[in-house]
Amino acid sequence: MRAAGLFAGSIIVAFAVWQLLSTVVFNPFLIPPPLVVFKTMVPMVENGEIFKHVAISLARVAVGFTTGCVAGITLGVILGRIKLVNELLDPIIELLRYLSPTAMIPIAVIWFGIGELSKYFLIFWGTFFIVLINTTAGVMRAPIIRQRAAECLGASPLQIFLLVVIPSAAPYIVTGMRIAMASSFMSIIPAEILAADSGIGFLLQQSSVLLQTNRIFVALLTICVLGFVTDRLFRIAVDRMLSRYMSYIALT
Amino acid sequence: MLAVRNVRKSFGESPHTYLALDGIDLEVSQGEFVCLLGPSGCGKSTLLNILAGFDQASAGTVDFEGAPVRGAGKDRVMFFQDAGAALLPWLTAEENVRFALRVRNVPKAEWPAIIDKYLEMVGLKEHRTKFPAQLSGGMRQRLQIARALAVEPKALLMDEPFGALDALTRRRMHGFLLDIWRRTGTTVVFVTHDIAEAVTLADRICVMSVGPGSRITEVIPVGLPRPRDLADPDAARVFKRVEGLLG
């Protein structure tokens, strides 16, 4: 309750300071005051324009993130479990992971055009490496004692893998997914700015060309809220479904 | 029941091999309580890992009930010092025991009765829905014992199981372990570096020398009634003798 109060208080103060600064100190055209931003936002909400962009960006993130997680977890588990594969692929992964989604935009556009596929690919690219590296680390760090204890109780290799190793790696995997989620929201924007005809990034780009700073701020606010809400929902879902796998980290 | 003959264990590739164990001979009979005693780094845990089947001897043989040990076997359950790591922290006390029954393919209908029996035996019945993190160190070790006993192993291999507990809890755990050992008749091989612990628990104490190439230098039968009091002259004599061997 206190935390919620502080949170609301902090937001309100921030808006007040913003309002004050943009009207008194700075040029209100360059930094539109919050009241102007809200006034701009109302018709965009009413005619559904903002939701259209949000929905498109969200769909891109969802597809890229989901496929990236599936691929990253699958390969990460293999890398964590089979030493030879890890030794063979690790150098390549260590090099490729420095190619951020933004760095991949130009080639993605050539490969996949400016349609949905290039955006799926870019989000996938960003998600994949983060989830992969975290999953591999989690699987490799599943305590050997825990696996041996299960083994001498009679667990088969498959049971050790499914009932001991994967749950032990769960906190790492989930953490990786959460970081990847945040990174997805960051990388969808440049992707849409440079190569799209819809989405929040496109809204930013178009408003910039037309010098509509108020619309730019609407888009920026939307990104903040979108990322924040998604992360919170992700955390709530994890707490609901995986809390018993997450809460023990302090113990080991 | 457990026969170790001329076991040798070396690590690494030549010319950098380290000879950990050399010429280990050990015979443990059914229902016996044997302590492997030696200073840190003498290879007692290495030997225990070989007995469990986690590790292979470089030379020599290990037979369990007449058959050579190949890999971890369900009859020999290892018991670890770090219960927090050995237990499944995302399962409650009773779920940890249930996990053992599940992987052991015990018929489902028998689970509730077995779980009740062993949680009762280790005094954790009231705490059955707690997670390991919510239990004290001693309780976690008791849960590990319950989980091990639930699959009714023929031998318990214990690797300094109470080393991380405070002195008081450790003493309580000794009484508790002896009580369970008497009731179940399980064979116990117990690794420790604590002379008092060995004298308190063991039927026989196998004293190991410092590596490299450590071996069992002496086997001392304790032969005193339990519970033992170290202030008792007979127990003190055994203690002195072991101390002399290690010093």
Give the HSE-up count for residue B151: Cα atoms under 13 Å, Cβ half-sphere.
31
Instruction: Note whether A150 contacts B: Cβ–Cβ < 8 A.
Output: yes
- In this prediction, residues B152-171 reach a mean pLDDT of 89
Same domain as B246, residue B157? yes
Same domain as B172, residue B136? no
A48 backbone φψ class: left, alpha, beta (φ>0; ψ -120 to 50): left
By residue range, what is the domain housing residue A2?
1-31
Please report, as a single letter, which amino acid is at residue A69: C
Residue A241 forms part of a structural domain = yes
A250 contact residues in B (CB cutoff 8 A): 133
The pLDDT value given to residue A114: 83
> Sorting pLDDT into bands at 50, 70 and 90, what band is A252?
very low
| The length of chain A, given as a count of residues | 252
Give the burial string for A76-95 (b: 16+ CB within 10 Å, else e): bbbbbeeeeebeebeeebee
A248 contact residues in B (CB cutoff 8 A): 89-90, 131-133
Residue A39 forms part of a structural domain = no
Residue A37 forms part of a structural domain = no
Same domain as A213, residue A161? yes
Same domain as A216, residue A172? yes
Find the helix packing angle between A34-46 and A213-246, rounded to 10°: 80
Same domain as B245, residue B168? yes
Contact, A50 vs A222, CB < 8 A? yes
The complex's ipTM?
Answer: 0.87
Answer yes or no: is pLDDT of A241 > 80.
yes
Same domain as B234, residue B131? no
Same domain as A51, residue A27? no
Contact call for B80 and A153, based on CB within 8 A: no
Same domain as A133, residue A111? yes
Q: Judging by DSSP bridges, how do beta strands B67-68 and B59-64 pair with one another?
A: antiparallel
Contact call for B89 and A248, based on CB within 8 A: yes
Q: What is the reported pTM? A: 0.83
The pLDDT value given to residue A55: 94
Of residues A149, A170, A247, nearest to B86 (C-beta):
A149
B93 contact residues in A (CB cutoff 8 A): none
The predicted-structure confidence for B81-101, as pLDDT tens digits, reads as follows 888 889 999 999 999 999 999
Of residues A146, A151, A245, nearest to B72 (C-beta):
A151
Closest CA to B24 of B55, B52, B53, B48: B48
The predicted-structure confidence for B180-196, as pLDDT tens digits, reads as follows 899 889 999 999 999 99
* Local structure of residue A107 (DSSP, 8 states): H
- Kindly report the nearest CA distance between residue A132 and chain B, in angstroms: 23
